[in-house]
Amino acid sequence: MFSNVLVVAGLLLCRLVLCRGFLVEDNPTPAPLPWWKSTIIYQVYPRSFQDSNGDGVGDLQGIISQLQYFKYIGVETLWLSPFYKSPQKDFGYDISDLKDVDPLFGNIQDFRRLVEEAKQLGLRILMDFVPNHTSDQHEWFQKSLKGDGKYRDFYVWSDGSLAANGTRIRPNNWISIFGGSVWTWREERQQFYLHQFTPEQPDLNYRNPDVREEMLLSIRYWLDQGIDGLRMDAIADLYEAENLTDNPLSGKPVPSNDWNYLIPKYTDYLVPEVPQEIMRWQGVFDSLEKLDGRERFMVLEFYTDSDTRAKMAAFGAHPFNMDLVDSLTVPLSARQIMGLVAQEYTNKPPSYWPTFVIGNHDRKRVANKYGRHTVNAFNMLLMTLKGTPTTYYGEELGMEDIEVTYKETQDPWAIIAGPDRYLLVSRDVNRSPMQWTAGYQAGFTTGNHTWLPIQANYTTYNVESEKTDPKSHLNLYKEYANLRQLSAFKYGDINVNVVTNDNVLSFLRYYGSERYLVAINFGQASSTDNYTRDPVGAATGTVVSDTGNVDASIAKNNNVDLSQLTLDPGNGVVIRLL
């Protein structure tokens, strides 16, 4: 009898287990998820991550040297921005050879070593793939320019029209994303070619089956290198209207050569061909999975609304959710943020899976857009939502944008915008070198220069220094990443119908008997709120993580009264419900 009591008592105690420092309840083993649903993706911008040879530009060997860093912060998947052979007119997004590495970054052997060493550490690799355009130095364009065989129609060419004075007039009013006309005249062909970005980036003609076939071969080439998937760039730009109809005016108060001057009705074009193209690409992924049983992941760059993302999910596509990058207004409102988050879980097909992003290589950093006090709050939100999170390098440190003069500007978009408007679009500011140490060149390079300036605050915000501070951006990011190993965050569902007002948003994550409340103040004032009502249904809880700036009474490891929880701007807590 006594021994039975001990057994029962032991079983009750064993219902509580320790998971990476968090006390959680034991639950039945869940069904395994596809790896990309439980991973954290970290965007590496190779030029700016780590330089191995002292030339001031990051490279593949530099990334290899820092692979242990990803293990330290709990990241499992690296997304590498382009390192293809390229004239670097748009820093690698102008590709002159889709199957080779630019010498600036190393060679194909370096890449294979990176993939192999990452695998040994349990890390996965995603690559940027640029299907919409190539460099004008690509062999295909050079042959197309000459009207050479099958390459003649590899790109979008047009005669335009003839003016009374005999000069050629562009086919329509379409404006490039980077500004100016999408049409550039080439004497060799006596035709205009189309480029949605810079003139050095001619758009491929996807209505040509030979182009589609070449893309499939290029995709297969990189998947055969052992990578785990691809991030597809500029999906919305694959197709334009065949009849070259003028885009309507937007009415926005911008210069007439600015992309926003027109509504891109016939250029930013989600026609039936785009989903069909994505399904062709996915077919390559699926065929390889049948051979080796290893699932590859394809994620799409696509700035669009939640309903369109859901439609794309119906045929297996996974567009990034850019809402938290591009749609937030300042000053921040928790109600607006929750509105954008909640729609990801409302009226969506079973195939839909959110892929949240808060920053990338094209947008200003969180600390600059919303204030340093929000850095930990956004990282907490990103890591605790249901979905796959993506972190842009340096956001885990709270890195800030740099100051760049027009004379120092390298970004082609900013150069085209001109000296009066370049800062409105500059992407140089958020691509500065990674801040590793407080020492020489922030530990990024041993050379005497860097391709972009290092942010002046590197002596404070760097990996080496932040590792020693338990409340640093870095260590809190690591803590939030560890939270994702708990069943409630890894496998669990989400309920967003808790407390949300102008200042505070909150939601529940739960799996079996595990239940966690996440509450974050993104507003402009303190807020005291009652969280005890349904669906929380608990009077108290234990804080398992916070944003490092909360009152001592609600800091990590404290039991808190949920009937009157006060959060100041930038405060956030994750609470295990009792």
User: Known catalytic residues?
Assistant: 233, 301
CA pseudo-torsion sign 68, 72, 74, 80? negative
**Any idea what the Cα angle at residue 535 is, between residues 531 and 541, rounded to 5°?**
45
d(CA 227, CA 118): 10
In 45-180, the DSSP E strands lie at: 77-80, 84-85, 97-101, 124-129, 157-158, 161-162, 168-169
| DSSP for 22-77, written as a single string | EEEE--PPPPPPPHHHH--EEEE-HHHH--SSSSSS--HHHHHHTHHHHHHHT--E
Can you tell me the distance from the alpha carbon of 305 to that of 121, in angstroms, rounded to the nearest whole number?
36
Q: At what angle do helices 273-292 and 209-223 cross, to 10 degrees?
A: 30
CA–CA gap between residue 245 and residue 53 (Å, rounded): 50
Q: What share of the chain is helix, strand, coil (3-state, %, to 5)?
A: 30, 20, 50
Give ∠ CA 280-283-286 in degrees, rounded to 5.
160
Q: 355-357 and 161-162: which strand pairing?
A: unpaired
Cβ atoms of 45 and 361 closer than 8 Å: yes
DSSP state of 168: E
The helix-helix angle for 473-483 and 375-384 (nearest 10°) equals 10
- Give the list of residues 6+ apart from residue 267 with CB closer than 8 angstroms, or none: 174, 182, 196, 237, 240, 241, 247
Please enumerate in sequence order all residues whose Cβ is within 8 A of that of 2, keeping only pairs 6 or more positions apart, or say none.
Answer: none
Distance between CA atoms of residues 67 and 483, nearest Å = 21
User: Which candidate, 440, 457, 478, places its Cα nearest to that of 400?
Assistant: 457
What ranges in 405-446 are assigned the alpha helix state H?
412-417, 422-425
Query: Do the Cβ atoms of 171 and 213 come closer than 8 Å?
Result: no
SS3 for 268-310 is CCCCCHHHHHHHHHHHHHHHHHHHHCCCCEEEECCCCCHHHHH
For 223, 356, 445, 487, the CA distances from 90, given in Å and listed in that order, are: 24, 25, 22, 42
Task: Determine how many CB atoms are found less than 10 A away from the CB of residue 405.
Answer: 10
> What is the per-residue DSSP string for 532-575?
-TTTT--SEEEEEEE-S-S-GGGSTT-EEETTSEEE-TT-EEEE
SS3 170: coil
Q: Give first-to-last CA distance, the chain, whole Å.
A: 31
Closest CA to 481 of 28, 70, 35, 29: 70
Residue reference for tokens 């979905």: 387
